[in-house]
Structure 1
């Protein structure tokens, strides 16, 4: 199944042309801002490198968070617009689940995907064998560190927030964003459905008068 995967939720802008779980071509660039300006060209580049035209795609997939408010909106708008134009389904991908796919862990080991959420928090979720064992949550750094310290077996931490909460001796993979390979593996297992952003706390930015953006 030919899939174009878009990820602008975290610290990179990534476009992946994947056939099932296999990456055929990908373009990825670490960036904190500027996703909107780079995404279209990177998607076209990945498709051209794969030798595909857009009308050959079977589906679109996009990361839906948690992550940057602006980045999420850029990726979702692009993916949903492309899906509408091509009449193709759009699948939503959890950024935490994608990060967990990058973790090299023994069977049965706990994997904590952690994103630095600033303001003394991390976005975190626990996985075992790539299956979530709890819902994603915004956690105070101290609370997350205590929960991870209470694990009795091997623990692997992955993501930009991993170093903030890792106990001594834990394996840490400090990743700005999921790899193209992790995105492809997750997308291959993800059913089609309505892609909606996952926000675990209110926006940092405020409109005039202190109102939250809608």
Structure 2
């Protein structure tokens, strides 16, 4: 296995290559405004560090968010392009699940990333592999009672310490963790949702490679066009 993972759903532009046992190479650059410029050079450097070409890749995984429209689409479109060129399916994974897996926590916690507009994308977890709620977007103050007393992972937790006083690492997404989670899911039997989902919880698993926005984009088609009549 040579699994290439990319994620641009957060300010971190992150790439990793995994051989099914360990991460061979990884790179992350936190820059919310340069996803399109940074991703492909990062892929080139990761492949070069591992000493392989793109056509040696056997599996493709992409973080599908939740995240802002502009950044999120860069990683997904790039992964889909690679998939088309290589004749490989592209598997999606929740960006929040990647952060949760990277935390390594074995007790209940929250993952919160920055959704801008004074909001966070978030979900609750029983442990690093068991998500208890579907990803959502809310104002931090509205979550105070729900997350009270729980450790929190991610940049959203760091931004709002009054709601998430026990903020822990990692702050930013890592494709190395996303790739490791994907490898673990494949080893478990293909990554189909299961486990805690059978008890009513949405266990982390592979998703379609489609962007998870959770809210409408800022730019929208006008509902009413101005009528211009000839003079």
TM-score category, normalised to shorter length: 0.7 to 0.9
Match runs of 1:137-156 below 5 Å: 137-149=136-148, 151=149, 155-156=150-151
CA distance 1:139–1:193, shift in 2 (3 Å):
closer
Match runs of 1:20-99 below 5 Å: 20=20, 22-99=22-99
Instruction: Give the structure with higher Rg (CA).
Output: 2
CA contact (8 A) 1:157 1:166 kept: no
RMSD after superposition? 2.1
The answer to which of 20-29 and 64-73 deviates more is 20-29
Deviation string 1:139-163 (CA, Å, 9 cap, x unpaired) is 22112122111x5xxx321111113
Alignment-derived partner of residue 201 in structure 1: 215
Aligned length, in residue pairs: 203
Matched residues in 1 for 2:9 and 2:71: separation? 5
Matched residues in 2 for 1:113 and 1:203: separation? 23
Match runs of 1:8-23 below 5 Å: 8-20=8-20, 22-23=22-23
**Which of 150, 169, 173 is 2:169 aligned to?**
173
Q: 3-state DSSP class of the match of 1:71?
A: helix
Alignment-derived partner of residue 135 in structure 2: 136
The answer to which of 110-119 and 163-172 deviates more is 163-172
**Which aligned segments of 4 or more residues in structure 1 are displaced greater than 2 angstroms?**
165-174, 189-194, 207-211
Tell me which protein shows more strand as a share of its residues. Answer: 1
Matched residues in 2 for 1:184 and 1:174: separation? 16
Q: 3-state DSSP class of the match of 2:64?
A: strand
Q: 3-state DSSP class of the match of 1:126?
A: strand
**Which of 160, 169, 177 is 2:155 aligned to?**
160
Match runs of 1:93-112 below 5 Å: 93-105=93-105, 107=106, 109-112=107-110
The answer to which of 52-61 and 184-193 deviates more is 184-193
Where structure 2 has 5 or more consecutive residues not aligned to the other structure, the ranges are: 186-190, 192-205, 225-231
Q: CA deviation at 1:184?
A: 2.0
Q: CA deviation at 1:101?
A: 1.4
Alignment-derived partner of residue 118 in structure 2: 120
